[in-house]
Amino acid sequence: MPPTSTPESIHIGADDLPFVEIGDGSLLKVLQVKKGEGLWIIENVFQAGYEVDKHRHTGPVFGYTTSGAWKYKEYDYVNRAGSFLYEPAGSIHTLQCVEDDTRVWFQMYGANINLDADGNIASVVDGTSALEYYLALCKEKGYGEPNVLVE
Amino acid sequence: MPPTSTPESIHIGADDLPFVEIGDGSLLKVLQVKKGEGLWIIENVFQAGYEVDKHRHTGPVFGYTTSGAWKYKEYDYVNRAGSFLYEPAGSIHTLQCVEDDTRVWFQMYGANINLDADGNIASVVDGTSALEYYLALCKEKGYGEPNVLVE
Amino acid sequence: MPPTSTPESIHIGADDLPFVEIGDGSLLKVLQVKKGEGLWIIENVFQAGYEVDKHRHTGPVFGYTTSGAWKYKEYDYVNRAGSFLYEPAGSIHTLQCVEDDTRVWFQMYGANINLDADGNIASVVDGTSALEYYLALCKEKGYGEPNVLVE
Amino acid sequence: MPPTSTPESIHIGADDLPFVEIGDGSLLKVLQVKKGEGLWIIENVFQAGYEVDKHRHTGPVFGYTTSGAWKYKEYDYVNRAGSFLYEPAGSIHTLQCVEDDTRVWFQMYGANINLDADGNIASVVDGTSALEYYLALCKEKGYGEPNVLVE
């Protein structure tokens, strides 16, 4: 039973997809979404002071930082160029950007369950909703329909 | 670079772990939880009329039915002995048991986001919370600490 | 960012896909293949004495047995109706069927690397090759193209 | 059933783990291995001319390039700083480094099945064997036992 199909590896260059602004000069790009798997891979450029609501992950997350500095309020360590971060399913944290032009890839499985100050669920974000948000902003900005890897 | 470690395959026989009651004679057994992956594998025995709240999955789910009959309110098909069910991440449904002694294994990734009648989030259940619930009921019933595969 | 797409859960009933013979009355059905993920879900009916070559898995495997009896030569435990089996990536074993009409679902990630008596690699089987093999046998038997869940 | 356990996110800074040489000045660092999942995450620094044997993947692979230039012989595109690469399970290719100090993170599921010029299987590398290789080189160089994320 030799395999006869050889699927292609797919490359997305640094400038192949546009960034959209998500507030105060911080940026978002969605690279890949496997809807049925709950997988979403994004790249962010954050500016100092940008915050992402406290959230809990329902699957594992892997963060690859390439410039700048950011941290979680709940931890002391700071992610800088070359940092790798592993966030197991169930982990909870609040992202804060420390330096301008902080660049990070996040490979995420499952949803972000956003929590309010009392720990109640405020909202849920996942790959499908992030993709729709990204595509809507791209359309609004006149960027057309970017070639995100979607299945 | 030959691999030198050979991990063991682990068997859980039909009677190795106890069932606990989850209401009206319906039963739950938790077989395996990989907390960091968000994976949970359970076995249920449902009685006719049992319902599981409408919920959305944040990861893929695979259902293996071995007896009885159950369905989702949102679909016409009925799961019976020998049925396989694939639920992609993002799918939403309300489980209803149709016949007594309906037996199903569910291999689930991510969380169940339970929704109320208006579609608002009522609660979230995941592998970690299901495990804690199961272990607490086992303890209460005097079953000791069952040997669930936990990592 | 509310999710607006709700994918369907897909049901495959016990008789929706044909079994094909894989030798000495043992049977194979392929239910689902996610080629890019390396996921393959099959159902086997083995007859007593049937063996599967010694192999190593490159991803995790989950086995759900519903009738009969089978074991791995390397272990003492016997899988019977209601048995759950977890095989971590890297595990190595040789399947032997003990009783006729032994029925098992296997949810497998990655490839089976088949090993000869000296531990050398004899061949590799994965979801894509298993699917091609299954579809070819179905065609040969005049079963048409069965509706396997393929992506 | 509220989750009561909150696992930690784990940070590995750029200088927390040593690189080891894998030939001609090219380097390897192993960041995380989940043996049972078949997951391995590594970082490479390749020098121009370095090649990785032609291989087929048994699970999906994700590549994040942060400097330099590299390509697969089988494709025209070149991975540079900011490139993202998705390699589905089953994909086959031969890595060539084009520029010195080419830096890439690879998040890999499953094994690399190395193929010789005739397409026969020459060897298999996976997370467990890569980890053992890395730890042995670290020990040989007097780096002690680096704190790789292993489970």
- Smallest Cα distance from D12 to chain A, Å: 5
Phi, psi for residue D36 in degrees, rounded to 5: -65, -25
Predicted model pTM: 0.97
Name every chain B residue with its beta carbon within 8 A of the beta carbon of A124. Answer: 58, 113, 121
The answer to whether the Cβ–Cβ distance between A90 and D66 falls below 8 Å is no
How many pairs of residues across A and C have Cβ atoms under 8 Å apart?
48
Mutate to test the interface with A, among D17, D86, D107 (most CBs of A within 10 A): D86
Complex ipTM: 0.96
**Per-residue pLDDT tens digits for A99-134:** 999 999 999 999 999 999 999 999 999 999 999 999
**B121 in contact with chain C, both atoms CB, cutoff 8 A:** no
pLDDT tens digits, one per residue of D99-119:
999 999 999 999 999 999 999
For B45-63, write each residue's pLDDT tens digit.
Answer: 999 999 999 999 999 999 9
Q: Say if D35 is an interface residue toward chain C (CB within 8 Å).
A: yes
pLDDT at B4: 55
Interval D23-81: pLDDT, tens: 999 999 999 999 999 999 999 999 999 999 999 999 999 999 999 999 999 999 999 99
**Given an 8 Å threshold on Cβ–Cβ distance, is A4 in contact with C133?**
no
Do B129 and D3 make contact, defined as CB atoms within 8 angstroms?
yes
Cβ atoms of residues A102 and A70 within 8 Å: yes
Amino acid of residue D84: F
Can you state the percent helix, strand and coil of chain B, rounding each to 5?
A: 10, 50, 40
Q: Which of C58, C107, C108, C114 to mutate to test the interface with D (most CBs of D within 10 A)?
A: C58
More confidently predicted of A1 and A13 = A13
What subunits make at least 3 CB pairs under 8 angstroms with C? A, B, D
* Residues 53-92 of chain A whose Cβ lies under 8 A from any Cβ of chain D: 56, 62, 64, 66, 72, 75, 77, 79-92
Q: How far apart are the CA of D105 and the nearest CA of chain A, in angstroms? A: 8
Residue B15 burial (C-beta neighbours within 10 Å; 0-12, 13-18, 19+): exposed
Quick one: closest CA in A to C114, which residue?
A1
- Determine contact: C107 vs chain B, CB below 8 A: yes
Burial class (CB in 10 A: 0-12, 13-18, 19+), D48: middle
Residue D47, burial from CB neighbour count under 10 angstroms (0-12, 13-18, 19+): middle
